[in-house]
Structure 1
Amino acid sequence: MPDTSPATAEINGTTLAYADRGEGPVLLLLHGHAYDRSMWDRQVEVFAGQGWRVVAPDLRGFGESGITEGIVYTEEFADDVAALLDHLGVEQAVVVGFSMAGQIAMELVHRHPRRVRALVINDTVPEAEDAAGRRRRHVTADAILTGGMDQYGRNVLAKMIAEYNVEAQPEVAARVLAMLQGAPAKGAAAAMRGRAERRDFTRLLAGLTIPVLVVVGGDDAFDGGAGRRMAELVPGAELVVVEGAGHTPNMEQPDAFDDALGAFLRGLVA
């Protein structure tokens, strides 16, 4: 059953809403821009039923969490996650970061390395933005504030899931569009500006000694080979390409995504 009654915690001057299901080692699921924790509804239930305590927060500025206007840096999101783990009494978690939150998860490893037992990087890129990329993100943030999330959602839907799945999977397309259009514009813009200033994570990845799984949709419009680059950077990392999916494979091809994540998690406790 999808999560409908989140818990809340006062974290670093804001309120974070989160789902917390099951018992066992902790699996932390972090959503992307401009999604919310509901993108993980299926995975929360599946893995809570497989002996994991699954925590899925709404990040600052999204879903039912509080909004910080202006700019929210990747470092702030990572510190929020660490503080939420403190609030929950959790020392370590397997961290799954999707898109923007893949970068947040890598920042969490950088700033709070002892908190991350293993890392799953889902459809993100490790490099910092160049000057053109920074300008593009700030222009997008301006457009979000002036044009609103309805227009933004329509503009990016066919990149957030594979273009062919917009028609082939209308229920998934409708859920993704509803998340995008329902996101608070001020929160989405602040996060977009923060992403423009993120660090480069390639050296961090090359030095990792924890288990790492990289998952990428076979037709992710944003990938550009980033998934393979990350898997090659991390010693011993595993790469799974989910065919029939774009940027959001856990929703477009949930069976394949859950199989890949489940196999990785079983390997951690074997």
Structure 2
Amino acid sequence: MKTFTINTQTMHYQDIGEGPVIVFGHSYLWDSSMWAPQVEVLSQSHRCIVPEFWGHGASAAAPESTRSLKDYANDVLSLLDYLEIDTFSLVGLSSGGMWATELVVNAPARVTSLVLMDTFVGLEPEVVHTKYFAKLAEIEENATITSDIVDFFDERQFAALEKDSPLRTAFRQRLLTADKERALALAKVGRMVFGRRDMFEYAEMFALPTLIMVGAQDRMRPVLESQLMHDGITGSEFVLIPNAGHISNLEQADLVTEKLQQFFAKHLSR
């Protein structure tokens, strides 16, 4: 892991491999290790940059200046400027796809291609927004992530994995052992994610190679949302990932890696 500082707050990130640059955005409540299966393969021919969202992994809480996903996209762009990376592709799952869309809008000439996985760039539906904000308020009130809240998020992550599988156990344990500062940092970022602005009209104007993938059993971001984005983004490709839920890149790691390799083989060159 390497570090980059913005307004006294330290962002941790991975920088692995050489070649055309791919920037990965992980899901809310996860960290850069989520992309390990894909980075292991793609870093053999690409330079993979994987920042850890504020409050996630080893990264500090968000700086005071970072109050929205648009702000965070600018933070990532600052990291890429620091690394002297001019052009890059983006792969974002869930919240990673949301801030990736903001980055495309901010710096369209620098983004060569885009992969949106298990995400939605429109407004959070009202009923869902209310439900998530109630959970975030509970975290803030108690300054902890209770087992009930862990259950709430855990049951929305996976489709085919047993509850006692190592992956789900590690996910739950990471949240249950979060200290006060980490719990509040995650709640702050959660408000950015579930209170994001509507980016759908911007996405409809995208003129870059775009791949949209979604787990067939995704409960957090239903397939319909990805189909709406596919219909709205001209020329986009759509892949439905069988036997996978929200964290589709881990439930079907080999298939997702294969689809990414095929996509980048068409749209990236050394």
Gaps of 5+ in 1: 1-5
Out of 180, 190, 214, the residue aligned to residue 192 of structure 1 is 190
Percent of residue pairs bearing the same amino acid type: 29
Report deviation, 1:234. Answer: 0.8
SS at the partner of 2:162? helix
Correspondence 1:40 to 2:38: no
1:216-231 equivalent positions in 2, closer than 5 A: 216-224=214-222, 225-231=224-230
Alignment partner of 1:99 is 2:98? no
Match of 1:267 in 2: 266
- Of 18-27 and 198-207, deviating more is 198-207
Aligned counterparts of 2:161 and 2:85: Cα–Cα separation in 1: 37
Query: Aligned to 2:156, what secondary structure does the other structure show?
Result: helix
- Pairing 1:77-88 to 2, within 5 Å after superposition: 77-88=72-83
The CA deviation string for residues 31-51 of structure 1, in whole angstroms up to 9 with x for no partner, is 1111111111122211112x1
Contact 2:143/2:184 (<8 A) preserved: no
Distance 1:197 1:158 in 2: 21
Spell out the pairing of 1:99-178 with structure 2 (5 A cutoff): 99-129=94-124, 131-145=126-140, 146=142, 148-151=144-147, 152-162=149-159, 164-167=160-163, 170-178=165-173
Corresponding residue for residue 3 of structure 1: none
Contact 2:6 2:63 in 1 (8 A): no
Residues 1:240 and 2:239 aligned together: yes
Whole-Å separation in 2 of the counterparts to 1:250 and 1:33: 14
Letter aligned with residue 251 of structure 2: E
The partner residue of 1:31 within 26, 33, 39 is 26
- What is the alpha-carbon distance in structure 2 between the residues aligned to residue 249 and residue 196 of structure 1? 20
1:57 partner amino acid: P
Partners of 1:87 and 1:53 in 2: CA distance: 15
1:168-199, Cα deviation, whole Å (9 max, x unpaired): x8122223334444562122100111224322
Between structures 1 and 2, the one with greater helix share: 1
SS for the counterpart of 1:165 is coil
Q: Report the counterpart of residue 210 of structure 1 in structure 2.
A: 208
RMSD: 2.1
Segments of 5+ residues of structure 2 without an aligned counterpart are: none
Letter in 2 for 1:55: I
Query: What is the SS of the residue equivalent to 2:243?
Result: coil
Flag the 1:241–1:22 CA change in 2: closer, same or farther, 3 A: same
Partner residue of 1:90 out of 70, 85, 100: 85
Answer yes or no: is the 8 Å Cα contact 2:37–2:257 preserved in 1: no
How many residues are aligned here?
Answer: 262
> SS of the counterpart of 1:255?
helix
Which string of whole-angstrom CA distances, capped at 9 and with x for unpartnered residues, describes residues 137-178 of structure 1? 33221122326235232322121111x4134x8122223334
Matched, 1:8 2:7: no
The question of whether the paired residues in 1 share the 8 Å contact of 2:20 and 2:268 is answered with no
Whether contact under 8 Å (2:25, 2:91) holds in the other structure is: yes
> In the alignment, residue 27 of structure 2 is paired with which amino acid?
G
For residues 232 and 79 of structure 1, the distance between their equivalents in structure 2, rounded to whole angstroms, comes to 28
For the structure 1 residues 12 and 122, does the alpha-carbon distance in structure 2 shift closer, same or farther, using more than 3 Å as the test?
farther
| Residue 71 of structure 2: aligned partner | 76
